Amino acid sequence: MQNNLRINVGFNIQNTSIVNFIASFFLGIFVALNFINNNLLLLFYTGFLGCFSTFTSFIYQLFVLFQKGKYRILFFHYLEVIILSFICFYLGYYLINTIK
């Protein structure tokens, strides 16, 4: 799916998306662990995953696609990242809940 959306805009869309998917997966794991101390969840979520995730790169990619008039690619890339990130989140969440 990603190979169809690879375009020459100065960066590789695929690598940025993969990092977002991994961060979403780990967020699902952290949420499913249901930390007693919510500050610990906040530390992992905003600290580690906030630094690891590439949301600003994702937004910049969308902006470049918009500037270049590649609206169809922009739309499908947006949907792809949002939907697959949610699926990765849920997989992490589901994995921990089945192990418990």
CB neighbours of residue 66 within 10 Å: 11
pLDDT above 80: residue 4: no
Write out the residue range of the structural domain in which residue 49 sits.
2-99
Percentage of the chain exceeding pLDDT 90: 30
Q: Which residues contact 32 (CB under 8 A, 6 or more apart)?
A: 92, 93, 94, 95, 96, 97, 100
pLDDT at 13: 59
> What value does the mean pLDDT of the chain take?
81
pLDDT tens per residue across span 50-91: 777 777 788 888 898 999 999 998 998 899 889 999 999 999
If one counts the domains in the chain, the total is: 1
Query: Which pTM was predicted?
Result: 0.75
Contact 37, 15 (CB under 8 A): no
pLDDT at 38: 76
